[in-house]
Chains A and B, each alone.
Chain A
């Protein structure tokens, strides 16, 4: 074995940091999935009838669909009847303020480094915390309400703003869009809802933290963000889970809706439990994320730092319907040990003079497989559409794989499309150069990897960028040494 490989071998041995579980009493649905379970969930959440009917319709469609297997990932069949579809941490009554929230829950989030108490919160970030299936706390609600910004849990939105929810739910990701989106539509439990009224620039970052806690539970959250004409919002999403031997299913749906001149910036730091060094356990992450640039001159930007999950299946996309609308996708996906990621984006150009930009940075270590899958589709009517794509892969060691599957469909001859791709390896020479300057091996790898991912990390809001940098270093710790 070359020294390169020895180095890389050792950096891949860091334990998952957020792998603790808390003893929270939970209110659970029985195992398995059928119409009664869908009704159970809807009843638990005291939903209006239209929503129950919507769920049931989704469930019936899901039953007719088959699980997609085209992604470059391998896993044993999922037994959908062996999953618990609803689990809520037990609380004495509904919390009216943070003071009423179970102290165990508050402690859980403090362990994650997320303070829910507003005095201690990060400056300028409003947080919605979702544990297992239920939103437990949303901060800064009042302050946002003064501007007409709605930021609350999805369940709350269904009760307080039913017309808005009914209008936009499924408008970007239809319930039968794909297998996992249909499943989510049937059993989604909670998530965040966010509405920015016309002309309002949301003054703070909005953030949701998701955590799976209970065993054998799937988490199916749903996020819906609507930005009215000329509105702006920057939204952050973070996720963690405890270490468990069995695989847990996570199938979320995120819908973004941007009107004329509106801008939505959506950032994710995904750190679900990736499984252990032998590939045991970990989250199966099957997520549908899509944004619709409905109005002219609207803009949607996805930034993701993906370090967790045993399997990632995720393609945050933009449908560029409005003329002059813009879509962006910035991604760093790190896989280590036996992780598998098949992730990328889809840019659908419908409107005239639409433009999109894709920057994807894959990093593979250990025995992992990392695939970029992207589609740029220029439709007939999309005159003068432009796309720039850059897909880079960085390999650590010689047991991992990096794959790129770019698809380009052009139906309008005025389109201008650029695609660049590179593959490189972290070199022994680079590491030695750092060491000779007094930098230890692990810091050297962190430095090199952060340099490689810089263009994407720069897109993240400040607090998140620091967190993401640390996360990258942690994920790769032990793959060099």
Chain B
């Protein structure tokens, strides 16, 4: 195993109702941050703590985190042959409900919920009956991620490079879906390389990640500044002379 320190010094507070964007050049640790928060085991947290609604997040397994209300939209959604999105969501939703002490949804209520969410994120049922992500286009995969987010109604959604591989129309539809799901009770962290997505999902705060540290935070205009000037000025600012 490669032992390499990727993140060092992340200090981030996200409140309910807020949208935060995490930007940074390639290799700055953006996706690692999303992976650590969602509980991928190949990353070890050597120091610090992550609190989610007062709970020690790092002590929880990935599925426990999901049941607490953390959702990650994957940069590369995984294919599962023979398992439809419908079946996948039914299994997921009912395991989450069970963990929360709620009754499993019966087939009729599940279908109702699904229909409602399908409409919200403009996804076609024929896509949901197919094997999960198998043979999906880039746009279909990302839209399917947002559909899943709508179904599971997370308290914190992490969007990991959701804009990658999307044309402008797909990007708009995905962003609209996310916007419809925003409320004062949930929060969104958008991890992205480009400012483009942030035109549609407008963040409250923008953070710049560089060499595993948040080197700059600011209002949404910071994203525009990065777009105009690139990351070089951040790099020179962040590197002590």
Closest to B93 in A: A438
- What is the bound-complex CA distance between A93 and B41, given in angstroms? 64
Q: Establish whether residues B80 and A438, one from each chain, have CB atoms under 8 Å apart when the complex forms.
A: no
Q: List chain B residues, Cβ under 8 A from A436.
A: 38-39, 62-63, 65-66, 71-72, 74
| Closest-CB distance, A266 to chain B (whole angstroms) | 24
Q: Establish whether residues A432 and B62, one from each chain, have CB atoms under 8 Å apart when the complex forms.
A: yes
Flag whether B81 is at the interface (Cβ < 8 A): yes
Q: Establish whether residues A427 and B78, one from each chain, have CB atoms under 8 Å apart when the complex forms.
A: yes
Pick from A432, A437, A453: contact of B148, CB under 8 Å: A437
10 residue pairs A–B, Cβ–Cβ below 8 Å = A430-B80, A433-B74, A434-B80, A434-B88, A437-B88, A437-B89, A437-B148, A443-B91, A447-B83, A452-B82
Flag whether A421 is at the interface (Cβ < 8 A): no
Closest to B148 in A: A437
| Closest-CB distance, A437 to chain B (whole angstroms) | 4
Closest to A424 in B: B81
Flag whether A3 is at the interface (Cβ < 8 A): yes
Flag whether B30 is at the interface (Cβ < 8 A): no
| Closest-CB distance, B86 to chain A (whole angstroms) | 12
Pick from A427, A438, A448: contact of B83, CB under 8 Å: A448
Flag whether A454 is at the interface (Cβ < 8 A): yes
Q: Establish whether residues A437 and B92, one from each chain, have CB atoms under 8 Å apart when the complex forms.
A: yes
Closest to A449 in B: B82
Q: List chain B residues, Cβ under 8 A from A430.
A: 78-80
Q: List chain B residues, Cβ under 8 A from A437.
A: 66, 71, 88-89, 92, 148, 152
Q: List chain A residues, Cβ under 8 A from B67.
A: 438
Q: Establish whether residues B66 and A453, one from each chain, have CB atoms under 8 Å apart when the complex forms.
A: no
Query: How many residues on the B side are at the interface (Cβ–Cβ under 8 A)?
Result: 33
Q: List chain A residues, Cβ under 8 A from B83.
A: 447-448, 450-451
Flag whether B164 is at the interface (Cβ < 8 A): no
Flag whether B40 is at the interface (Cβ < 8 A): yes
Flag whether A390 is at the interface (Cβ < 8 A): no
Q: List chain B residues, Cβ under 8 A from A434.
A: 80, 88, 92
Known A-B contacts A438-B95, A438-B96; A454 and B82 likewise in contact (beta carbons under 8 Å) = yes
| Closest-CB distance, B102 to chain A (whole angstroms) | 12
Further 5 A-B residue pairs, CB within 8 A, beyond A438-B92, A448-B83, A455-B82: A437-B66, A438-B95, A440-B61, A447-B83, A451-B81
| Closest-CB distance, A197 to chain B (whole angstroms) | 39
Q: Mark B32-50, 1 if CB is under 8 A from A, else 0.
A: 0000001111100000000
Flag whether B6 is at the interface (Cβ < 8 A): no
Known A-B contacts A436-B66, A438-B99, A454-B82; A3 and B91 likewise in contact (beta carbons under 8 Å) = no
Q: List chain A residues, Cβ under 8 A from B42.
A: 3
Pick from B77, B95, B99, B131: contact of A433, CB under 8 Å: B77
Flag whether A439 is at the interface (Cβ < 8 A): yes
Q: Establish whether residues B91 and A439, one from each chain, have CB atoms under 8 Å apart when the complex forms.
A: yes
Pick from A3, A441, A451, A455: contact of B80, CB under 8 Å: A451
Q: List chain A residues, Cβ under 8 A from B82.
A: 450-455
- What is the bound-complex CA distance between A3 and B65, given in angstroms? 19
Closest to A3 in B: B41
Flag whether A49 is at the interface (Cβ < 8 A): no
Q: 8 Å CB contacts to B: which residues of A405-459?
A: 427, 429-430, 432-441, 443, 447-448, 450-455
Q: Establish whether residues A447 and B95, one from each chain, have CB atoms under 8 Å apart when the complex forms.
A: no
Q: 8 Å CB contacts to B: which residues of A162-178?
A: none
Q: Mark B51-70, 1 if CB is under 8 A from A, else 0.
A: 00000000001110111000
